[in-house]
Protein backbone atom coordinates (compact mmCIF):
# COMPACT_ATOMS: atom_id res chain seq x y z
CA UNK A 1 0.00 0.00 0.00
CA UNK A 2 2.76 2.58 0.71
CA UNK A 3 4.25 1.97 -2.74
CA UNK A 4 0.88 2.59 -4.36
CA UNK A 5 0.52 5.75 -2.30
CA UNK A 6 3.94 7.03 -3.45
CA UNK A 7 3.09 6.32 -7.10
CA UNK A 8 -0.24 8.11 -6.65
CA UNK A 9 1.43 11.22 -5.24
CA UNK A 10 3.88 11.22 -8.13
CA UNK A 11 1.14 10.73 -10.73
CA UNK A 12 -1.02 13.49 -9.27
CA UNK A 13 1.83 16.00 -9.22
CA UNK A 14 2.95 15.02 -12.73
CA UNK A 15 -0.63 15.59 -13.91
CA UNK A 16 -0.25 19.26 -12.96
CA UNK A 17 2.45 19.55 -15.59
CA UNK A 18 0.69 17.37 -18.16
CA UNK A 19 -2.70 19.07 -17.82
CA UNK A 20 -2.42 22.48 -16.15
CA UNK A 21 -6.06 23.36 -16.83
CA UNK A 22 -7.22 20.30 -14.88
CA UNK A 23 -4.74 21.05 -12.09
CA UNK A 24 -5.86 24.68 -11.78
CA UNK A 25 -9.47 23.50 -11.53
CA UNK A 26 -8.53 21.05 -8.77
CA UNK A 27 -6.60 23.68 -6.81
CA UNK A 28 -9.27 26.35 -7.14
CA UNK A 29 -12.42 24.31 -6.71
CA UNK A 30 -11.53 21.46 -4.35
CA UNK A 31 -11.97 23.62 -1.27
CA UNK A 32 -15.18 25.28 -2.44
CA UNK A 33 -17.21 22.54 -4.08
CA UNK A 34 -18.59 20.61 -1.12
CA UNK A 35 -19.54 17.46 -3.01
CA UNK A 36 -16.10 17.09 -4.59
CA UNK A 37 -14.35 17.94 -1.32
CA UNK A 38 -16.41 15.45 0.68
CA UNK A 39 -15.82 12.65 -1.83
CA UNK A 40 -12.09 13.33 -1.87
CA UNK A 41 -11.78 13.46 1.91
CA UNK A 42 -13.92 10.35 2.40
CA UNK A 43 -11.81 8.40 -0.09
CA UNK A 44 -8.52 9.55 1.42
CA UNK A 45 -9.71 8.83 4.97
CA UNK A 46 -10.92 5.36 3.94
CA UNK A 47 -7.55 4.57 2.40
CA UNK A 48 -5.79 5.74 5.55
CA UNK A 49 -8.01 3.54 7.73
CA UNK A 50 -7.34 0.56 5.41
CA UNK A 51 -3.60 1.17 5.68
CA UNK A 52 -3.82 1.30 9.46
CA UNK A 53 -5.83 -1.95 9.57
CA UNK A 54 -3.32 -3.69 7.28
CA UNK A 55 -0.39 -2.51 9.40
CA UNK A 56 1.13 -0.43 6.59
CA UNK A 57 0.48 2.84 8.41
CA UNK A 58 1.08 3.45 12.10
CA UNK A 59 -0.44 6.85 12.72
CA UNK A 60 -2.55 7.30 15.84
CA UNK A 61 -4.08 10.52 14.57
CA UNK A 62 -7.71 10.50 13.42
CA UNK A 63 -7.96 9.60 9.73
CA UNK A 64 -9.77 12.85 8.91
CA UNK A 65 -6.97 14.90 10.46
CA UNK A 66 -4.43 12.98 8.41
CA UNK A 67 -6.64 13.44 5.33
CA UNK A 68 -6.50 17.21 5.92
CA UNK A 69 -2.71 17.02 5.98
CA UNK A 70 -2.50 14.87 2.85
CA UNK A 71 -5.03 16.78 0.77
CA UNK A 72 -3.67 20.15 1.86
CA UNK A 73 -0.09 19.18 1.09
CA UNK A 74 -1.02 17.77 -2.30
CA UNK A 75 -3.03 20.88 -3.18
CA UNK A 76 -0.15 23.18 -2.26
CA UNK A 77 2.39 20.96 -4.02
CA UNK A 78 0.21 21.03 -7.13
CA UNK A 79 0.10 24.81 -6.90
CA UNK A 80 3.90 24.92 -6.57
CA UNK A 81 4.20 22.84 -9.76
CA UNK A 82 1.72 25.05 -11.61
CA UNK A 83 3.57 28.20 -10.58
CA UNK A 84 6.92 26.73 -11.61
CA UNK A 85 8.47 26.74 -8.14
CA UNK A 86 9.19 23.00 -8.24
CA UNK A 87 9.82 20.23 -10.74
CA UNK A 88 9.31 16.46 -10.80
CA UNK A 89 12.13 15.95 -8.28
CA UNK A 90 9.80 17.52 -5.70
CA UNK A 91 7.36 14.61 -6.04
CA UNK A 92 9.52 12.05 -4.24
CA UNK A 93 10.16 14.42 -1.34
CA UNK A 94 6.43 15.08 -0.95
CA UNK A 95 5.60 11.36 -1.09
CA UNK A 96 8.31 10.56 1.46
CA UNK A 97 7.18 13.26 3.85
CA UNK A 98 3.54 12.16 3.64
CA UNK A 99 4.47 8.52 4.22
CA UNK A 100 6.36 9.60 7.32
CA UNK A 101 3.21 11.40 8.47
CA UNK A 102 1.41 8.08 8.04
CA UNK A 103 3.83 6.47 10.48
CA UNK A 104 6.58 5.02 8.31
CA UNK A 105 10.09 5.44 9.65
CA UNK A 106 12.27 7.87 7.68
CA UNK A 107 14.40 5.01 6.29
CA UNK A 108 11.38 2.94 5.26
CA UNK A 109 9.65 5.94 3.66
CA UNK A 110 12.81 6.72 1.69
CA UNK A 111 13.17 3.07 0.58
CA UNK A 112 9.47 2.78 -0.39
CA UNK A 113 9.56 5.95 -2.46
CA UNK A 114 12.82 4.99 -4.18
CA UNK A 115 11.40 1.59 -5.08
CA UNK A 116 8.00 2.88 -6.14
CA UNK A 117 9.30 5.70 -8.33
CA UNK A 118 12.24 3.88 -9.94
Burial of 104 (0-12, 13-18, 19+ CB in 10 A): buried
Q: For position 116, what pLDDT does the model report?
A: 95
Q: Give the integer Cα–Cα distance in Å for 40 and 77.
A: 17
Task: Identify the sign of the CA torsion 51, 54, 59, 62.
Answer: positive
Predicted pLDDT of residue 110: 96
End-to-end alpha carbon distance in the chain: 16
| Model pLDDT for residues 34-55, shown as the tens digit of each residue | 677 777 778 888 888 888 889 9
Residue 2's alpha-carbon distances to 84, 101, 109, in angstroms, are: 27, 12, 8
Q: Which residues of the chain have pLDDT under 70?
A: 30-34
Predicted TM-score (pTM) of the model is 0.82
Amino acid sequence: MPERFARGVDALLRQAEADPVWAWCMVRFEATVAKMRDALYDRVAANIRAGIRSGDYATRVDSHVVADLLVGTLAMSTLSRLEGRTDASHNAAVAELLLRALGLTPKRAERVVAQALS
